Amino acid sequence: MKRFEMRVDPLTHEIYYAVPLTGSALLADPLLNKGYAFPLAERAEFDLTGLMADSVGDLDLQVQRTLGNYAVKTTDLGRYVTLLSLLDRNETLFYTVLTRNIEKMLPVVYTPTVGQACLEMSHIIRRYRGIYVTPNTVGNIEKILENTGLPNISLMVATDGERILGLGDLGADGMGIPVGKIALYVAAAGIHPASTLPVCIDVGTNNERLLNDPLYIGIRQPRLTGQAYYDLIERFVQGVRRVFPRALLQWEDFGRQHAFPLLERYKNRILSFNDDIQGTGATAAAALCTAASIRNRSLADDRIAIYGFGQAGSGVANAIVTMMHEQGGVPIEEARRRIYPIDINGLLVEGMKAEDYQANFVQPKSVIADWPVSKDRSPSLAEVVKHGKITILIGLSTQAGAFDENILKTMGENTDRPIILALSNPTNRSETTPEAVMKATNGRALVATGSPYAPFAGPDGKMMVTSQCNNLYMFPGMGLGAIVCQATRITHRMFHAASCAVSSMVTAEQRAKGMLLPELTNIRDVSFTVALAVAKQAREDGYGMIASDEHLAKLIRDAMWEPHYYPYRRVKLD
């Protein structure tokens, strides 16, 4: 049964919820619960009289009470549990609190705290959210989707829990990631929470700690592999297409051996993208676009090393290639040769074993022929930076301290204004810190990081602000734009348009401070700007609604939900 429908009164044009639930069942539904903000008339109509104190409050008073409770928590995990419990009780209140405090609460609802929460999810979970799909239940996927009771789903975030942040295989405990991503879609882009759905594709886990934990909530078996795994995903996608055919599906935190095949297999069959690959790439490209503007030089003039060439690293590489090609007219193959991919065994050089997604970036042996390094092994990170004369260094390795003082000083010798993007998170896995970069380069570098860092005093005593290269700049607006313009697919050019849109929002004053991305306090404006750029690019490429810029902008603005309580009318629904 549907939990509610959004309707418009034909006479007064009032938007209201048609709700069949009453009494304690209504109070227990987090999408519909208003707490003591239920007006007296609705309390009478929905059998709520006497189920709460007589006083009637409003959303602002509820926010005040929530912030008071939040303030007394002494740990980030405690704050996370407080907010998750609020989400489980009253979604409108949760999103009001989060939207008004997005910059302060972002590190709690997502990285880095969500990583710690996922490590302990089976021990802290209070209420299941979204849906869990397993080998035992996937045959009934259509029924599972209908069991949500939601009138329509526009957006799903799905994970199989194999590669949660830098923490590895967390199985069903990885559900904290889709839940967190959905929260950010709603807060940052205004996608209505009732049209979103977090999904855990629980195919087992190879994590012995979880398998031996009596409280573990996932299925207790080794991970499904081979054709059986892909058959399950196929059945899941079929169900989504049948029940919610226009929904966008975001693949999240899949292992590298599955992430690329799934993205390739379904990119033309269902509206979908992989944020770890494409979102990370587009956000890094936005930061590099700003850096190029600050330095007044084209990216085509740079030599770029990417340390950690997994799915995120390859996503960044492809985004850079697209930017060089679209902005500078650099041929694709030539752009690829300007990127030096470095994995665990060193620089990827011709003759080495490489994954399919790495193959296009493998450097020919001729590149290192004149380097004074041993030819019995692949050049190390330090050797690549020195002999490759690297001017842009990007880290996605999750190797804390990998960019040591020697490497950073070499970067400062290679160019007047080196660009360092240490994008691994959480914070304790970052390749370096902004302070270390500025100290080694005498304050000349342009820096962005994957995790948040507090402002600090640079070598000249001037306070420096480090941009956080957070995918929040990208995926909410991408999802919003694609859904509103009714896109049939998501392309590299749409992500490139999003990168340019984000970079264009960095003001001259911010650029003068070395900031590479706009402030997160303006995230709703960022999401709108990205959504419009995406919708326009989809239109130009023939994959989206044909409408004027002005009409697209109005549709996007109208689609951005602001948290508030709608009036309810008691109605029996089928």
- CA nearest neighbour of 277 among 300, 299, 261: 261
Given 214, 240, 270, the domain boundary residue is 270
- Choice among 181, 453, 536, 568 that is catalytic: 181
pLDDT on residue 515: 93
Q: Which residue range forms the structural domain that includes residue 315?
A: 278-366+376-472
Task: Tell me, yes or no, whether 285 and 393 share the same domain.
Answer: yes
Does residue 2 fall inside a structural domain? no
Shared-domain flag, residues 345 and 458: yes
Q: Are residues 138 and 263 in the same domain?
A: yes
Same domain for 418 and 319, yes or no, is yes
Judge if pTM exceeds 0.85.
yes
State whether the Cα torsion 220-226-228-229 is positive or negative: positive
Are residues 283 and 264 located together in one domain of the fold? no
Tokens of 566: 């709608």
Q: Look at residue 4 and tell me if it is in a domain.
A: no
**In a shared domain, residues 404 and 453:** yes
| 467 and 323 within one domain | yes
Percentage above 70 pLDDT, the chain: 100
Is residue 43 pLDDT above 90, yes or no? yes
Give the percent of the chain with pLDDT over 90: 90
Burial of 11 (0-12, 13-18, 19+ CB in 10 A): exposed
User: Is 31 a domain residue?
Assistant: no
> Which residues have CB under 8 Å from 118's CB, separation 6+?
164, 165, 167, 170, 173, 174, 175, 176, 177
Number of domains observed in the structure of the chain: 2
Interval 262-312: pLDDT, tens: 999 999 999 999 999 999 999 999 999 999 999 999 998 999 999 999 989
DSSP string across 295-312: HTS-GGG--EEEE--SHH
Whether 98 maps to a domain, the answer reads yes
Which of 45-54, 88-97, 108-117, 528-537 bottoms out in mean pLDDT, i.e. has the lowest? 108-117
Same domain, 245 and 168: yes
Give dist(CA 159, CA 181) in Å, integer: 11
| Catalytic residue check, 110 | yes
Q: Clarify whether residues 284 and 432 are in a common domain.
A: yes
* pLDDT for 270: 96
477 lies in some domain: no
The residue from 80, 95, 110, 132 that is catalytic is: 110
Last residue of a domain, which of 451, 472, 493?
A: 472
Contact 182, 195 (CB under 8 A): no
Q: Which two tokens stand for residue 140?
A: 């009934």
261-277 burial, b for 16+ CB within 10 Å, e for fewer? Answer: ebbeebeeebbbbbbbb
pLDDT tens per residue across span 507-534: 999 998 889 999 988 899 999 999 999 9
Q: What is the CATH number of the domain that holds 126?
A: 3.40.50.10380
One DSSP character per residue, 108-143 reads: HHSTTHHHHHHHTHHHH--S--SEEE-TTTGGGHHH
Residue 370: per-residue pLDDT: 94
Residue 526, domain member (yes or no): no
* 135 and 184 belong to one structural domain: yes
Q: What is the pLDDT of residues 150-205, one digit of tens each?
A: 989 999 999 999 999 878 999 999 999 999 999 999 999 999 999 999 999 999 99
**Average pLDDT of the chain to the nearest whole number:** 95
pLDDT of res. 219: 98
Residue 426 has pLDDT above 80, yes or no: no
* 212-230 pLDDT, tens digit each: 999 999 999 999 999 999 9
Q: What is the pLDDT of residues 312-366, one digit of tens each?
A: 999 999 999 999 999 989 999 999 999 999 998 999 999 998 999 999 999 999 9
Instruction: Look at residue 552 and tell me if it is in a domain.
Output: no
Claim to verify: residue 163 and residue 239 sit in the same structural domain: yes
266 shares a domain with 286: no
Domain boundary among 405, 439, 472: 472
Let me know if residue 457 belongs to a domain.
Answer: yes
Q: What is the CATH number of the domain that holds 411?
A: 3.40.50.720
Closest to 181 (Cα-Cα) out of 170, 172, 189, 173: 189
